[in-house]
């Protein structure tokens, strides 16, 4: 059976020249490509999506104009022997795959495809004969509509020079190229900027009467650490002994230094800080010991632009570190610090660092809104007075400690209509944050989620990777935020509720992706003496 314009034997030779040998997968792939083409309207300009990196992409490249290099073929490694051809403008097309149910009549192909026997035991001639006879009958084909994200070609946009290796790369990859980020397949592929010494050290006795180039630190273990000499300070004869006691037998002085094309650590740190600090962040200038520390200007939620922080730290010779993001911080408390690592950095690195920081502030502190909280307690046993409610005082204490007020509380049975009515009552009482309690597990009587949906719940996220408090629910009803607290909060002092509440009050839009970050650090150790938030939970 022919494969396009080729006989089977001719295509085997084409495959050998292109692929290195006539692989069975490539031969079957030839039939798959030609069969898919038959199901497209004539003269269709099509692209291809291939779901494996093994053999099948080469069949597409041999028999069509689509290739990996021109971007008309995308390889998505799903591990399935399938491909789709589709109209590059509309996304309408067909998907063809090897149908395992159709392999029963072709035992040699089945044994090869499903790895049922070692390669050395396979009968190659018989395998090729079965492939030639079977042709596309091994496959099933279905119409598909390609998602917009996979259509079109991503063109290389802005090009820059990597400050680490000095090679050109697409700026969309980050502050430095992906090779220098560590993705090269060979050893030693990441290189820092090669710098010549741009300063000259002099003997400490010869430094008398000259000006210190940088802060020099004195350390007394367990007692003191700080700048003993400041940049710009004149060194006197009386300083020689102190410098030697500090282990300084040579020092850098300004009049002996030539730093053309370089930026001093203090100048760099000051420029970085000006761009890093957003609302609610303050810092003291000038830098001390080459670094600047950031503090919270007021109490609130400490927020970090993690993408910018990562890209900045990818650059050589600079650093910035911080506390964990999305935690409550008090006024005046330190939250982050930055500096240039060597005494001088190159102007190229300096400019690249500033370009990373020009997008948005890196750090901010977001004040918490003083929400009017409505507490909805669900549970027939509580509603009927069979047990005393303990949830209202627990939730009230948590929200009031963050400056909120409880507008109203309602107790309803495990009935979705009653729950829906309870929500509406809390909204009438002015609640802009509704906290529901219990009724979120797998028990048949649990009706909280159904009642919230009837009340108009939208943008719902249910379940978080944290313990305790996995069955947390987030969403909105009208103008009010909704947090569904699982029943475990009756037993555990701290749960996932305590992690998300400050973020909700700070006005953060929490996505599923952000919730997944709770997985690392989301296991509470249930310490006998709880020190939250001064503990690893949620960090």
Average pLDDT over residues 376-393: 94
Is 287 a residue whose pLDDT tops 50?
yes
Exposed/middle/buried for 431, CB within 10 Å: 0-12, 13-18, 19+?
buried
Taking domain 199-257, whether its CATH number is 1.20.120.140 is answered by no
Average pLDDT over residues 100-127: 93
The whole-angstrom separation of Cα 449 and Cα 44 is 49
Residue 238, classed as helix, strand or coil, is coil
Looking up tokens 């591990």 gives: 79
DSSP codes, 462-509: E--S-BS-TT-EEEEETTEEEEEEPGGGGT-SS-HHHHHHHHHHTT--
The alpha-carbon radius of gyration of the chain (Å, integer) is: 33
CATH of domain 372-517: 3.40.980.10
Q: What is the per-residue pLDDT for 135?
A: 95
Residue 103, classed as helix, strand or coil, is helix
Q: What is the per-residue pLDDT for 343?
A: 87
Residues 6+ apart with CB under 8 A from 9: none
Using 50, 70 and 90 to split pLDDT, how confident is the model at 175? confident
Beta bridge partner(s), residue 143: 94
The rounded mean pLDDT for the chain is: 90
**pLDDT digit string (tens) for 425-447?**
999 999 999 999 987 877 777 88
The domains of the chain are located at 8-150, 199-257, 262-366, 372-517
Is 341 a residue whose pLDDT tops 60?
yes
For residue 273, the surrounding DSSP H or E stretch is helix 265-276
Using 50, 70 and 90 to split pLDDT, how confident is the model at 348? confident
Residue 28, classed as helix, strand or coil, is helix
Q: What is the per-residue pLDDT for 190?
A: 46
Phi-psi region of 279 (alpha: psi -120 to 50; beta: other; left: phi over 0): beta
**pLDDT digit string (tens) for 39-69?**
999 999 999 999 999 999 999 999 999 999 9
Phi, psi dihedrals of residue 13, rounded to the nearest 5°: -70, -40
CATH of domain 8-150: 3.30.1330.130
Stretch among 237-241, 373-377, 380-384, 438-442 having the lowest mean pLDDT: 438-442
Stretch among 161-170, 196-205, 347-356, 371-380 having the lowest mean pLDDT: 196-205
Using 50, 70 and 90 to split pLDDT, how confident is the model at 256? low
Phi-psi region of 222 (alpha: psi -120 to 50; beta: other; left: phi over 0): left
β-strands 372-378, 433-437 pairing: parallel
Using 50, 70 and 90 to split pLDDT, how confident is the model at 166? confident
Stretch among 102-116, 436-450, 518-532 having the lowest mean pLDDT: 436-450
Share of the chain above pLDDT 70, in %: 95
> What is the three-state SS of 108-163?
HHHHHHCCCCCHHHCCHHHHHHHHHHHHHHHEEEEEEECCHHHCCCCCCCCEEECC
Is 3 a residue whose pLDDT tops 90?
yes
Stretch among 42-46, 181-185, 324-328, 333-337 having the lowest mean pLDDT: 181-185
Is 109 a residue whose pLDDT tops 70?
yes
Phi-psi region of 77 (alpha: psi -120 to 50; beta: other; left: phi over 0): beta
CB distance 295 to 333 below 8 Å: yes
Residue 260, classed as helix, strand or coil, is coil
**pLDDT digit string (tens) for 288-304?**
888 999 999 999 999 99
Using 50, 70 and 90 to split pLDDT, how confident is the model at 531? very high
Average pLDDT over residues 439-466: 89
List the beta strands (DSSP E) in 341-465: 344-346, 363-366, 372-378, 405-412, 433-437, 458-462
β-strands 73-75, 46-50 pairing: parallel
Structure tokens at 81: 């022997």
Q: Which CATH class is domain 262-366?
A: alpha beta
Stretch among 154-158, 193-197, 483-487 having the lowest mean pLDDT: 193-197
Using 50, 70 and 90 to split pLDDT, how confident is the model at 227? confident
Is 408 a residue whose pLDDT tops 80?
yes
Using 50, 70 and 90 to split pLDDT, how confident is the model at 222? confident
Q: What is the per-residue pLDDT for 276?
A: 97
Q: What is the per-residue pLDDT for 58?
A: 97
The whole-angstrom separation of Cα 455 and Cα 486 is 19
Is 419 a residue whose pLDDT tops 80?
yes
Q: What is the per-residue pLDDT for 154?
A: 65
Is 526 a residue whose pLDDT tops 50?
yes
Is 326 a residue whose pLDDT tops 90?
yes
Using 50, 70 and 90 to split pLDDT, how confident is the model at 193? very low
The whole-angstrom separation of Cα 197 and Cα 286 is 25
pTM over 0.75: no
Average pLDDT over residues 79-88: 96
CA angle (498 as vertex; 509, 338 as ends), nearest 5: 65
């Amino acid at each position: 059976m022919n494969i396009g314009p080729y006989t089977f034997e001719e295509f085997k030779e084409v495959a050998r020249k292109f692929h290195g040998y006539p692989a069975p997968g490539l031969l079957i792939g030839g039939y798959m490509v030609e069969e898919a083409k038959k199901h497209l309207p004539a003269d269709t300009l099509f692209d291809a999506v291939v779901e494996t990196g093994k053999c099948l992409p080469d069949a597409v490249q041999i028999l069509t104009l689509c290739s990996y290099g021109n971007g008309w073929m995308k390889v998505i490694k799903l591990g399935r022997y399938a491909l789709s051809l589709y109209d590059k403008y509309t996304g309408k097309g067909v998907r063809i795959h090897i149908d395992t149910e159709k392999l029963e009549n072709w035992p040699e192909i089945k044994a090869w495809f499903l790895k049922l026997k070692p390669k050395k035991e396979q009968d190659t001639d018989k395998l090729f004969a079965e492939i030639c006879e079977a042709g596309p009958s091994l496959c099933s084909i279905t119409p598909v509509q390609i998602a917009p994200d996979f259509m079109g070609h991503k063109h290389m946009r802005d090009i820059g020079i990597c400050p680490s290796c000095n090679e050109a790369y697409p700026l969309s990859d980050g502050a430095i190229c992906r090779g220098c980020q560590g993705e090269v397949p060979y050893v030693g592929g990441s290189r820092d900027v090669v710098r010549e010494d741009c300063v000259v050290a002099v003997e400490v006795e010869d430094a008398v009467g000259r000006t210190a180039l940088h802060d020099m630190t004195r350390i007394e273990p367990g007692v003191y650490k700080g700048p003993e000499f400041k940049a710009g300070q004149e060194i006197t004869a009386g300083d020689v002994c102190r410098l030697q006691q500090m282990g300084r037998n040579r020092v850098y002085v300004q009049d002996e230094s030539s730093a053309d094309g370089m930026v001093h650590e203090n100048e760099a740190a000051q420029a970085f800080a000006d761009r890093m600090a957003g609302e609610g962040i303050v810092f003291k200038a000038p830098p001390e010991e080459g670094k600047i520390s950031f503090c919270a200007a007021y109490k609130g939620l400490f927020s970090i632009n993690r993408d910018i922080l990562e890209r900045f730290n990818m650059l050589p010779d600079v650093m910035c570190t911080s506390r964990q993001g999305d935690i409550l911080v008090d006024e005046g408390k330190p939250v982050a610090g930055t500096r240039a690592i060597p005494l001088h950095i190159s102007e190229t690195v300096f400019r690249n660092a500033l370009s990373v920081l020009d997008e948005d502030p890196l750090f901010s502190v977001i004040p918490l809104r003083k929400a009017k909280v409505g507490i909805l307690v669900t549970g027939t046993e509580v509603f009927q007075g069979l047990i005393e409610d303990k949830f209202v005082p627990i939730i009230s204490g948590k929200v009031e400690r963050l400056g909120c007020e409880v507008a109203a509380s309602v107790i309803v049975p495990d009935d979705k209509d009653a729950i829906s009515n309870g929500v509406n009552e809390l909204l009438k009482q002015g609640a802009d944050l509704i906290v529901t309690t219990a009724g979120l597990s797998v028990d048949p009587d649990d009706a909280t989620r159904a009642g919230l949906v009837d009340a108009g719940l939208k943008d719902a996220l249910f379940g978080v990777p944290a313990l305790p408090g996995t069955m947390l629910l987030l969403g909105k009803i009208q103008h009010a935020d909704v947090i569904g607290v699982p029943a475990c909060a009756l037993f555990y002092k701290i749960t996932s509720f305590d992690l998300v509440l400050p973020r909700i009050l700070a006005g953060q839009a929490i996505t599923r992706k952000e919730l997944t970050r709770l997985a690392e650090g989301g296991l509470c150790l249930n310490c006998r003496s709880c020190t939250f938030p001064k503990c690893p939970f949620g960090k």
